[in-house]
């Protein structure tokens, strides 16, 4: 085997990671869309049906993450630092896990209402998922750095909105309204999960920042 063939053998299969990360971010966009449907639903049975659908999407995300980890273990050279790729995949998986958990809480706690903060959180997370998917299309070419940074800034803005929404709704829950203490605790669990999902989206951009610094 000549030197050129040896080099070709060890070159990264970039398209493998392109495909897997595309599947992961597209799956996240789909999951966020289904969660938004759950958040806007006012019928508990509809939430149960959509929750099963979201669980399937979350399992698909688990499988994709596992394939990315396996690809990292079997690829000699990777397009980016392998720990950054691992972190990107883990963050995407964690976001879906949190959305599925919140959907599960809504059903287990028998919360059929669709209050404005719940609906708005779902819209924020759908927008964040769309920006994450956009970053995935751009990150392979550092000539797209300006566009990548624009999406990162947008995600940061959305995360700030999520933080403000969280503190507002928690203050309202514990502000002495007519809701009983058990219901307050149920909704607190829901909103904590949604705020955590927003934080995890922001963490995704931190990893993207590492990638751009290392590869610019």
Dump pLDDT digits (tens) for 132-188: 999 999 999 999 999 999 999 999 999 999 999 999 999 999 986 677 899 999 999
Instruction: Find the mean pLDDT for residues 98-115.
Output: 97
- Whether the pLDDT of residue 84 is over 70: the answer is yes
Instruction: Please state the pTM of the whole predicted model.
Output: 0.92
Q: What is the CATH number of the domain that holds 91?
A: 1.20.58.220
Is the residue at 177 inside a domain? Answer: yes
Q: Which of 90, 122, 92 is nearest to 193 (CA)?
A: 122
Question: Which range of residues forms the domain containing residue 28?
Answer: 13-215
Is the residue at 146 inside a domain? Answer: yes
Compute the mean pLDDT over every residue in the chain, rounded to the nearest whole number. 92
Query: Residue 77 has what pLDDT?
Result: 82
Is the residue at 105 inside a domain? Answer: yes
Total domains in the fold of the chain = 1
Is the residue at 155 inside a domain? Answer: yes
- Whether the pLDDT of residue 64 is over 80: the answer is yes
Query: Residue 16 has what pLDDT?
Result: 85
User: How close are the terminal C-alpha atoms of the chain, in Å?
Assistant: 34
Is the residue at 204 inside a domain? Answer: yes
- Whether the pLDDT of residue 40 is over 50: the answer is yes
């Amino acid at each position: 085997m000549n030197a050129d063939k040896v080099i070709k053998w060890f070159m990264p299969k970039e398209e493998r990671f392109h495909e897997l990360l595309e599947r992961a971010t597209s799956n996240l966009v789909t999951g966020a869309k289904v969660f938004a449907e759950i958040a806007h639903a006012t019928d508990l049975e509809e939430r149960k049906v959509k929750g099963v659908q979201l669980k399937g999407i979350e399992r698909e995300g688990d499988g994709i993450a596992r394939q990315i980890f396996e690809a990292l273990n079997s690829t000699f050279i990777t397009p980016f630092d392998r720990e950054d790729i691992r972190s990107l995949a883990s963050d995407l998986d964690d976001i879906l896990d949190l959305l599925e958990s919140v959907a599960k809480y809504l059903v287990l706690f028998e919360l059929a209402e669709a209050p404005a903060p719940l609906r708005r959180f779902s819209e924020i997370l759908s927008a964040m998922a769309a920006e994450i998917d956009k970053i995935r299309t751009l990150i392979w070419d550092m000539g797209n750095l300006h566009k990548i940074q624009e999406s990162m800034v947008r995600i940061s803005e959305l995360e700030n909105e999520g933080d403000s929404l969280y503190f507002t709704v928690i203050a309202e829950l514990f502000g002495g309204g007519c809701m009983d203490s058990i219901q307050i605790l149920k909704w607190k669990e829901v909103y904590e999960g949604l705020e955590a999902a927003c934080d995890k989206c922001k963490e995704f951009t931190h990893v993207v920042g590492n990638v751009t610094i290392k590869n610019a």
